[in-house]
A and B are shown apart, each in its own frame.
Chain A
Amino acid sequence: MPSKLDYLDLLEAESIHIMREVAGQFERPALLFSGGKDSITLVQLALKAFKPGKIPFPLVHIDTGHNFPEALEYRDRLAEETGAKLIVRKVEDTIKAKGLKEPGGKFASRNALQSYTLLDTIEEFGFDACIGGARRDEEKARAKERIFSVRDEFGQWDPKKQRPELWNLYNGKIAKGENVRVFPISNWVELDVWNYIKREGVELPSIYFTHEREVLVHGEFLVANSPYIRIDEGDIIEKRNVRYRTVGDMTCTAAVESTASNIDDIIAEINRTNISERGETRIDDQVSEAAMEDRKKNGYF
């Protein structure tokens, strides 16, 4: 006999329990919002967790300046509709204030620099917990991370010093200066997120659906033509029908060729594809086997 609850109900109940643990255990939590489907799912879960009250923590966006305009527009609208407080801090400002070196190269990604802005923002507002939309199925280093992941004063993750996490008991006890990254959808996989978005009727930024876009064809990757990437002689730039499977920066997120115009089409496409989400869309993960582990150790999300 199967359980009385559907798997999405079970995942949802677990995530809501985690959201409420954050609100109950911490004084100044925040929800890190990127405009992507995973953080949109987090907002949906947070809304449900605290109904009829409002979400008892702000949404924080670390803006690299390389965002898709559609994601920014969506962000502002969501904050207005939900009545959630929105805090935006720009990587651009951190670069100027700290005299950081702008990354170079063809796809100069500010992705790694986000960590600096994030740590400054955590310090500025005294956040003791930051909720994020990372999932364990995304990447091997993430498969080992706890739901409550403690970071030291420098925002560093030490995989060898992780706290054992048993049953549904989460230990968010920290010293001053430390903070906890909390991942309520750790146990969701990509398709769970899409099926949940479908079931809940959650609206998404338009770039998740098919649209015509000018892209740079770079090997297997299709990268949006934008002022943030370097166009070299001989580069192939074409108009293609694409959608985004993940939404990150314009410089490091690749589009996939697709005519999927609704969630059902997208779910069907993901079921058919034989390439993983990050493998298909994240240019920044291709560097080394431990790219994510290294970034996380340095304070990355």
Chain B
Amino acid sequence: MDLLRFITAGSVDDGKSTLIGRLLYDTDSIKVDQLATIQKQSKNKGEGEIDLALFTDGLRAEREQGITIDVAYKYFNTEKRKFIIADAPGHIQYTRNMVTGASNSDLIIILIDARLGVIEQTRRHSIIASLLQIPHVVVTINKMDMVGYSEEVYNNIVIEYSKIAQQLNIKDVTFIPISALQGDNIVNPSENTPWYKGETLLHLLENIDVAHDVNYTDPRFPVQYVIRPQVDELHDYRGYAGKVISGTYKKGDAVTVLPDGIDSVIEAVEVHGEEVEEAFAPQSAVIRLKDDIDINRGDVIVTKSSSPKVSQDIEATLCWMDTRPLIPGNKYLLQVQSKRVRCIVKEINYKLDVNTLEKIENIDQAGLNDVVHVTIKTAAPVVFDSYNKLRANGGAILIDETAHTTVGACMLI
């Protein structure tokens, strides 16, 4: 049994909550008492039937307003996999929430209302999926029952969406005709769509290959913490604790510690205190080196075979997440893995229209939910990779120096 993280993109109107409710319900993940609470709330709201959307709305304000504001995490499992759903709101004013949910996802389910076809929102969600480099895209064409399970309607949407996928360079796309409300092609193949020969949604979620999404060839090990037990028998022990975010590390590997560029050789690789042959992504491990060198939190241990970028001048695609605008010249903290440095956002080169992918030039500031291309200068060298080449080491956040809030998400270039 392994793990799949996915995000659902769409709004209540597209049947997103119904779809999540259906997946949870059909996999026996909603318990009787939770269902009773939803029933009670449905009555409070004066609705006749059970509103499965209530199951995903956790905060009082959301229940009162009938909208999803924040990202909610839901869990279910089958015998094959554990699933983590990031349930994010789909409207444009919540782009930052969707970016947040997308950042950790292996797969995105994009919902299309069969009656409406590809709309602005579909395009926006696909652009976000492509910016965040979500490896797998599943386009569920929902409410097929409302269009008489028409193969033609389905085919037209497939053709139209394929153009978007091509334009955005989205490689792995699967289309499934469904009705979340009726349960068509969710868990069981539907008799209403005999012309559809593909998998059901759950079958796809259970079987899609995620092992190859992990990079095993470019070793990156950001040091989080130095373990130095203060006891006599381990007097000389100095272990660098971190997570193998990509690649593999073995005893005897020739390594370089960045950003200083000091060379050494791995003396031992440990996982949970036991020496192991090798540690690979995404394991948490401890690395010990042959040489006694000064290594701190924020340093990155890499091997000779693959080098990341080390630079103070960085370009990034950035999603702005704060209500106060981003103005060129503003100073922030940039966090890449365990490294935090002061930085200045020197320029906003252009803004990306997330509905059309159009570049808008001559921008003097970026507001909440804007996606912009920026040039950043850092106070010290940063070790990173291009997000499009190595997702695990290409994401960064901007932190406000005084309010300490997370104000921007950067896909480094």
Contact = CB atoms under 8 A, between A and B. Distances in A.
A290 B60 CA distance: 7
A253 interface: no
A166 B73 contact: no
B335 A49 contact: no
B252 interface: no
A122 interface: no
Among B3, B34, B61, B70, which residue has the most Cβ atoms of chain A within 10 A? B3
Interface string A1-28: 1111111011111101100110110000
A52 B404 contact: no
Contacts of A11: 3
Interface stretch (B151-159, B168-176, B178-186, B236-244): B236-244
A27 to B, nearest CB: 13
B60 A289 contact: yes
Interface in B213-242: 214, 224-225, 227-229, 234, 237, 239, 241-242
B338 A24 contact: yes
Contact of B103 (A144, A162, A167): A167
A53 interface: yes
A50 B61 CA distance: 41
Contact of A7 (B1, B59, B283, B337): B1
B100 A174 contact: no
A160 B224 CA distance: 30
Interface of B is mostly: mixed
B211 A169 contact: no
B297 interface: yes
Among A10, A14, A20, A290, which residue has the most Cβ atoms of chain B within 10 A? A20
Contact of B73 (A21, A136, A141): A136
Contacts, number: 183
Interface residues of B, number: 74
B280 A4 contact: yes
Given A13-B283, A187-B84, A276 B34 contact: yes
B52 interface: no
B59 A49 contact: no
A140 interface: yes
Contacts of A49: 241, 284
B74 A7 contact: no
B399 A171 contact: yes
A17 B103 contact: no
A24 B404 contact: no
Contact of A6 (B2, B74, B97, B237): B2
A187 B85 CA distance: 10
Contacts of A144: 58-59, 70-73
A143 B40 CA distance: 20
Given A166-B100, A280-B33, A140 B2 contact: no
A284 interface: no
A13 B1 CA distance: 16
B382 interface: no
Closest 8 CB pairs of A and B: A51-B273, A279-B33, A140-B58, A16-B284, A276-B31, A166-B103, A173-B404, A53-B229
6 contacts: A2-B2, A23-B224, A48-B273, A136-B73, A289-B41, A290-B60
Interface of B: 1-3, 31-34, 37, 40-41, 57-61, 63, 69-75, 77, 80-82, 84, 96-97, 99-100, 103-104, 209-212, 214, 224-225, 227-229, 234, 237, 239, 241-243, 245, 270, 272-273, 280, 282-284, 286, 297, 321, 333, 335-338, 395-397, 399, 404-406, 409
Given A166-B409, A173-B399, A274-B32, 7 more contacts: A1-B211, A3-B210, A50-B227, A53-B234, A144-B59, A171-B335, A189-B75
Interface of A: 1-7, 9-14, 16-17, 20-21, 23-24, 48-54, 136-137, 140-144, 159-169, 171, 173-175, 186-187, 189, 191-192, 273-276, 279-280, 289-290, 293
